[in-house]
Structure 1
Amino acid sequence: MLFTCVSPAPHPAVRVVRLVFIALLLLLAGPASAQRCRNVTLLSHMNLYGSSGYSSCWSYVHSDGREYAFEFAQTGASVVRLTDPANPVEVAFFNLADSRWHEGRQYQHWFYITTEITTGRNFGGLTIIDMADPDHPHTVSSFHSNLYGAHTIELDTARGLLYAAGAAGASGQGLYIYSLADPTNPVLLTVYGNGFPDYIHTIHVDGLRGYASMGILGTVRILDLTDPAHPTTITEFGTPGGLTPGTTLSHGSTHSAWNSVDGRYLYVTDEVSGVGLYVYDLLNLSNIRQVYRYEGLPPRTVAHDPVIRGNLQFQAYYTAGARVYDVSNPAWPAEIGYYDTFPGRDGGFQGCWEAAPMFPSGIFIASDIETGLYVLRVNTNYGIVRGTVQQAPNGPVIVGAAVTQGAASTVSFSDGRYSIVVDPGSAVALTFSQFGYETLTKTLSVTPGSDQTFNASLRLKDAGTLSGVVQRGSDASPLSEAEIAVLGTPLRALTDANGAFTIASIPVGSYQVRCVRAGQVPRVLAATITKGSTTALSYFLASPLSYDDVEADRGWVLGDKFDDATTGLWVRGVPNGTIYIRTGEPIQPGRDHTPDPGAACFVTGNALVPSTNSLTDCVQGGQTTLTSPALHLGGFTDPRIGYWRWYANYFFEFTPDDPLVTQLSNDGGQTWVSVDSLYEPPSGWTYTELNVANTFAHPGDVFLRFIAQNRGDFGLVEAAIDDISSYSGSGIGAQAAPAAPVLANMTASMVGRPHPSPTHGPAGIDLALARTARVRADVFDVQGRLVRTIQDGTLTAGLHVLSWDGSIVGGSRGPAGSYWVRISSEGVTTSSRLVVLR
């Protein structure tokens, strides 16, 4: 079947190492998934050098058809026979200079390896392996007399030319171009470029053209290589993760490119979080156009090197594994499937470094930085459906619509287009859904190898409008900047200076609407939306038991005896914003959360002036702790603590693994209980509520503390806290003045829809209870099988969020597809559909 994943037992030589390593990864990753795949079969796996780590890999095909893999470890190159791909055999290991960057390419029966290391006398240079007898290869040359090292390598096998990019040698930095007329004695023809900033990170050569990814310049430079000793520039264009030529500020890195078989299109990656894969039309070199952007993965994933073989594109995607695309329509790739080599959370530069498909047998290999060599095969028994999703009858395109068929799923991208690879069949049912629209199901006949178009038109659901006003309960004065959220939906609003808000186009139905405002107790009211009418709500927000806007020193402790961070320590002050220059992502907030005239908050470190340098005073070297004064919660019903937090956790090298930890103590700080660990930060300031009774039956005086930390490799961690309050949750769902209906027992109208849906990871379901009740929440797959129980116990009255981390029984991450979340309490049961994308 199309979406069956087969994972045979690992190679005997590495079974124990692999299982132990994966087990450790799973322990470190917490609820993250085991390896997972779609439409790609794992034939075998080798991890012989996991203690040192890996980088690239590449294919070698002997003249008699035998196939081999070159897998590069930190200390050398492993040569692996793949004549039986289910049982790989290492035939040789060549020691190389210790480096993270080794790359290689085949020319006739030689294999050329570059290594990037130029410090001291331990030059990497160029190593040539003779593969005439591939089961007994040997080194014939290793020189660095004029090439000290190179970042990447490319070969023009038709003309016998070697290109060493990102290179340094006796002639300085640049692109070193060699003739292989004598394959064991390369002759330097020229050095193109002058190093920084004219740095070529990677070059792909096809015929007489070279596609040079210009690294820090943020451009692709197309070279005429008719005379390889004298390359000339044909044209140059900027990429989304880089910049337009002629500007002075680089905010990205144009990383790698590969052209389509017909040479008309160019596939480009920038190795920048959230930028992904782009396709450019090169038909008119004076007006190069972007025609496609892949948006089907979580925003923190990072695309690495694209490689094309025939009508398939192979893409290393770091923590998202090795991905495969059908490019028979080269301007509109369709993802066939993937094999995720990395079991942890997405984001950062771990996982799959390279995917190499140059094997006539149809297999391909992938190299994972931690776990080594994977031998894989793509299932090509599929059909493609593609088209545009738009509002019916002739409205705008719809962005983010979920498109599902069995286990296959995707979303419509920012231009409204989608493409999905599906199982062939005479009655293939595609489902199109998006919040606010009627769900559409279309049944199509799909034959193997077919590529058909279906444009989906979704009709808006009947809708109405929600409006209202938010006032202070004590004096009825208007409250600006109150946050209104229609729970279970993406709908949000802020009140204006008069305390008023309006949310239009809410689908007909019953909802719970939450109002949160700094310095006030949150409120949740029920609202029924009817077609074409306006429903009015009035919020009168009570004052909390305590409130700290952080504008003055109220006894918080900045630091702890166990702290060891060297920079980014907690301070109280007016925050100076920083951004990550490569993506524009804010790292430290540029203002506090408190409505004007508030200005201060707690923040980890603080640059002297607003800065584009995200490294300015961020958390480094350990942890830093912020501890509250005593919060007097004894004698109150359902005590709660609410606050706004900001958190940025961006790692250059590894998946973000240092959470913002929140802890509570009710014994004067002698012992602490962790109540929240935030790994994946939301965007901007977000409100968080702690139900203290869930931790302490008799709270008394409670202390609250936040631990921000950065213990891994180089990365960005910033945190901020503002507007901390304590209050009784007993009044959240009922309004004192003027009188309003108190929430009754849980009904279907009081259970929100899963959010986000579709989701690439966790999801939540908002639940409002009028009184304490036993609640059970189960997740079922489309076949009705119970895959996870996410709640089974008593919950107190008020607002709750039932969270599912995406894992199923056994701890592995559930596959893509549709799930149903069933919530039962006091004889009432509701079910909601949740779409999961992988």
Structure 2
Amino acid sequence: MKKRNLLITTALVGTMTIGGIAPTTLAHDALGSDVNKGERFVFDQDAIEQLSFSLTGSKNVSNFKEAAAVQISLKDGVQNNTADVYAHKGFAYLGTHTANGGNGGVRVFDLKNPSNPVEVAVFADEIPNTWQEKVIVKSVNTPHFKGDLAAVSVQQTSRNNVNRPNSKGGVLLYDVTDPTDPKKLGFYELDRRITGTHELYLTTQGNRALVLTSSPYADYYTHGEQEDFQIIDVTDPTNPEKMWGWDPRELEEIPEDFNGYHWHAPDGKTRPVFNHSVITDNNAQYAYVSMWDLGTVIFDIKDPENPVFLGRTDYRDDQKGAAHSAALARGGTILIETREVSNPVGVGYESAYGYTRIFDIKDKTNPILLSEFTTDLTYQEPFINTFAKTVHDPKVHGNTLYLSYYSGGVVMVDITNPSNPVQIGQYTPEDADVWGVFVDRNYILASDMGQGLKVLTRGQGQGNGNGNGR
């Protein structure tokens, strides 16, 4: 079999630091109907074996090697594509997107040998005409459940379609204490008028387990009956219950006539406002909600039945907000905000694809912008999709920020000085379409929409995806 060509250098890559209508202003999540993003680029394992990659870097990322690249298996004769990636106790969990009709479920890979990941299970694929982008796995101990709990986002591929009466969105909950044998526990079902839950976060407070959900345009589609941001009590995962929901109209700066996230902002622009993503700090004291052009909204959730709005990030008049995802650094005192801007045009806006902003949030009522990070990326052409040049998801490990960048792959950034972020590495598979990145002590995982799971390991030899080292 033809081997991949390798390009590994330790050169420092270039860096740069720089001190609409809602239902049609869509992010990559495709809030519309029947989207098959990435379907053109679906590879089998033999094709992946013949691809090359480049990995450049310095400092603490220079000794990472690509240990494996493995496609997810066919399901019912269909090749799905991947979405986000998460790892827990030596297993990788890959969500799936919409190619070939969706319903790819969550794929579980055993990473015991990182150079030879083995797919051992598929779950959360039982609801017709849906896709499962996000999965979070945590060890929980509640009066009702003790073990490893997986929360999975579920979205309809075609919202409220009368020809698909069994399709519905929400949150699936699974017992993955044995990752090779996941067991369904419960389902938090949303109104069919809502596409579903796009991103979510699973966390614990003492012996209580919570899921925080992002359901874009929920308020709009249900005429205020449900909210984009909800906190769900999953202490008993067989019986998830809503605790609280939030409507942006509760903010003084949002007028009462705010209609379906058509925000007539103070800068004179009509900006989209919807909940795209949410995370918490490690102790689940605060929630960080990515509300697109409203910025990253910060809540005190110590009492999850009565959260308190604290503050939010804002933008220059010429910036598209597009707050897509967030990560924390320095014990929760630094906020990383990624902005997904795939179309850098528009009257009154700067001509720039999405880039990253870093804030000091020691005072969470007053986030202070420290820096804005963009980069001259090395891209693999032709571009896979229109989101090729925008940043996507952030993860932080120590003083290194890892950014998924679609056709740019994964970019590593030194944030030792958050006022002066410096690019120190880039991993770019051939025909890259990297959706998600996850950082563990022993490896970096990347989910490539068309190619599946990528594994980078520290100080180990490269494999070819089948465990054959060089």
Matches within 5 A, 1:253-402: 253-273=322-342, 274-285=353-364, 287-298=366-377, 301-343=389-431, 351-357=433-439, 359-360=440-441, 362-378=442-458
Q: Which residue of 1 aligns with 2:235?
A: 181
**CA–CA distance in structure 2, aligned partners of residues 99 and 333 of structure 1:** 39
Q: Which residue of 1 aligns with 2:287?
A: 210
1:48 partner amino acid: I
How far the C-alpha of 1:221 sits from its partner, in A, is: 1.4
Q: Which residue of 2 aligns with 1:57?
A: 85
> SS of 2:341's equivalent?
coil
How far the C-alpha of 1:104 sits from its partner, in A, is: 0.9
Structure 1 residues 363, 304: CA separation in 2 closer, same or farther (over 3 Å shift)? Answer: same
**CA–CA distance in structure 2, aligned partners of residues 17 and 254 of structure 1:** 35
Structure 1 residue 234 corresponds to structure 2 residue 310: yes
**CA–CA distance in structure 2, aligned partners of residues 56 and 241 of structure 1:** 32
**CA–CA distance in structure 2, aligned partners of residues 239 and 193 of structure 1:** 21
**CA–CA distance in structure 1, aligned partners of residues 175 and 302 of structure 2:** 29
How far the C-alpha of 1:342 sits from its partner, in A, is: 4.5
**CA–CA distance in structure 2, aligned partners of residues 258 and 69 of structure 1:** 19
Q: Which residue of 2 aligns with 1:105?
A: 136
Does the aligned pair in 1 maintain the 2:85–2:92 contact within 8 Å?
A: no
> SS of 1:70's equivalent?
strand
Task: Summarize deviations over 1:299-342 as a string: whole Å, max 9, x none.
Answer: 97211111123333221111100122233334433333221134
Does the aligned pair in 2 maintain the 1:239–1:254 contact within 8 Å?
A: no
Matches within 5 A, 1:511-550: none
> SS of 1:18's equivalent?
helix
> SS of 2:374's equivalent?
coil
How far the C-alpha of 1:91 sits from its partner, in A, is: 0.8
Does the aligned pair in 2 maintain the 1:305–1:315 contact within 8 Å?
A: yes
1:89 partner amino acid: V
Structure 1 residues 241, 79: CA separation in 2 closer, same or farther (over 3 Å shift)? Answer: farther
How far the C-alpha of 1:100 sits from its partner, in A, is: 5.3
- Flag the structure with larger Rg: 1
Does the aligned pair in 1 maintain the 2:443–2:455 contact within 8 Å?
A: yes
1:355 partner amino acid: V
How far the C-alpha of 1:14 sits from its partner, in A, is: 5.2
Structure 1 residue 81 corresponds to structure 2 residue 110: yes
2:230 partner amino acid: Y
> SS of 2:45's equivalent?
helix
**CA–CA distance in structure 1, aligned partners of residues 419 and 315 of structure 2:** 17
**CA–CA distance in structure 2, aligned partners of residues 323 and 306 of structure 1:** 10
Q: Which residue of 1 aligns with 2:172?
A: 127
**CA–CA distance in structure 2, aligned partners of residues 241 and 43 of structure 1:** 44
Does the aligned pair in 2 maintain the 1:57–1:72 contact within 8 Å?
A: no
Task: Summarize deviations over 1:30-64 as a string: whole Å, max 9, x none.
Answer: xxxx4211233111111135843221111122xxx
Q: Which has the higher strand share?
A: 1
1:352 partner amino acid: V
Does the aligned pair in 1 maintain the 2:355–2:373 contact within 8 Å?
A: yes
> SS of 2:313's equivalent?
strand
**CA–CA distance in structure 2, aligned partners of residues 254 and 323 of structure 1:** 19
Q: Which residue of 2 aligns with 1:495?
A: none
Does the aligned pair in 2 maintain the 1:356–1:364 contact within 8 Å?
A: yes
Structure 1 residues 331, 155: CA separation in 2 closer, same or farther (over 3 Å shift)? Answer: farther
**CA–CA distance in structure 2, aligned partners of residues 140 and 286 of structure 1:** 38
Matches within 5 A, 1:805-816: none
Structure 1 residues 285, 164: CA separation in 2 closer, same or farther (over 3 Å shift)? Answer: closer
Structure 1 segments unaligned to the other structure (5+ residues): 6-12, 23-33, 244-250, 345-350, 381-838
How far the C-alpha of 1:260 sits from its partner, in A, is: 1.1
Structure 1 residues 282, 125: CA separation in 2 closer, same or farther (over 3 Å shift)? Answer: closer
Matches within 5 A, 1:358-757: 359-360=440-441, 362-378=442-458
Q: TM-score, normalised by structure 2?
A: 0.65
Q: Which residue of 1 aligns with 2:48?
A: 18
2:96 partner amino acid: F
Tell me which of 201, 210, 219 is aligned to 1:154: 201
Structure 1 residues 377, 4: CA separation in 2 closer, same or farther (over 3 Å shift)? Answer: farther
Structure 1 residues 142, 178: CA separation in 2 closer, same or farther (over 3 Å shift)? Answer: closer
**CA–CA distance in structure 2, aligned partners of residues 279 and 312 of structure 1:** 13
How far the C-alpha of 1:298 sits from its partner, in A, is: 4.5
Structure 1 residues 333, 322: CA separation in 2 closer, same or farther (over 3 Å shift)? Answer: same
Structure 1 residues 98, 313: CA separation in 2 closer, same or farther (over 3 Å shift)? Answer: farther
How far the C-alpha of 1:277 sits from its partner, in A, is: 1.2
**CA–CA distance in structure 1, aligned partners of residues 277 and 95 of structure 2:** 19
How far the C-alpha of 1:99 sits from its partner, in A, is: 4.3
Structure 1 residues 48, 271: CA separation in 2 closer, same or farther (over 3 Å shift)? Answer: same
* Higher relative contact order structure (alpha carbons within 8 Å, sequence separation ≥ 6): 2
Q: Which residue of 2 aligns with 1:3?
A: 9
Does the aligned pair in 1 maintain the 2:186–2:240 contact within 8 Å?
A: no
Identity of aligned residues (%): 22
> SS of 2:65's equivalent?
strand
Does the aligned pair in 2 maintain the 1:69–1:79 contact within 8 Å?
A: yes
Tell me which of 48, 53, 56 is aligned to 1:35: 53
Task: Summarize deviations over 1:480-504 as a string: whole Å, max 9, x none.
Answer: xxxxxxxxxxxxxxxxxxxxxxxxx
1:239 partner amino acid: Y
> SS of 2:69's equivalent?
strand
1:162 partner amino acid: V
How far the C-alpha of 1:184 sits from its partner, in A, is: 3.1
**CA–CA distance in structure 2, aligned partners of residues 374 and 227 of structure 1:** 39
Tell me which of 120, 130, 135 is aligned to 1:91: 120
> SS of 2:401's equivalent?
strand
How far the C-alpha of 1:146 sits from its partner, in A, is: 6.1
**CA–CA distance in structure 1, aligned partners of residues 66 and 316 of structure 2:** 34
How far the C-alpha of 1:242 sits from its partner, in A, is: 7.9
Structure 1 residues 240, 136: CA separation in 2 closer, same or farther (over 3 Å shift)? Answer: farther
How far the C-alpha of 1:110 sits from its partner, in A, is: 1.2
**CA–CA distance in structure 2, aligned partners of residues 53 and 157 of structure 1:** 31
Structure 1 residues 83, 184: CA separation in 2 closer, same or farther (over 3 Å shift)? Answer: farther
**CA–CA distance in structure 2, aligned partners of residues 114 and 46 of structure 1:** 23
How far the C-alpha of 1:4 sits from its partner, in A, is: 6.5
How far the C-alpha of 1:284 sits from its partner, in A, is: 4.4
Count residues with an aligned counterpart: 341
**CA–CA distance in structure 2, aligned partners of residues 298 and 326 of structure 1:** 16
Structure 1 residues 179, 287: CA separation in 2 closer, same or farther (over 3 Å shift)? Answer: closer
Structure 1 residue 192 corresponds to structure 2 residue 246: yes
Structure 2 segments unaligned to the other structure (5+ residues): 1-6, 12-42, 57-61, 140-147, 249-259, 263-272, 343-352, 379-387, 461-470
Does the aligned pair in 2 maintain the 1:71–1:79 contact within 8 Å?
A: no
How far the C-alpha of 1:213 sits from its partner, in A, is: 1.3
Does the aligned pair in 2 maintain the 1:192–1:231 contact within 8 Å?
A: no
Q: CA RMSD in A?
A: 3.1
How far the C-alpha of 1:296 sits from its partner, in A, is: 2.3
1:161 partner amino acid: L
Tell me which of 151, 166, 182 is aligned to 2:215: 166
**CA–CA distance in structure 1, aligned partners of residues 316 and 121 of structure 2:** 42
**CA–CA distance in structure 1, aligned partners of residues 317 and 201 of structure 2:** 23
**CA–CA distance in structure 1, aligned partners of residues 230 and 205 of structure 2:** 18
Q: Which residue of 1 aligns with 2:34?
A: none
Q: Which residue of 1 aligns with 2:348?
A: none
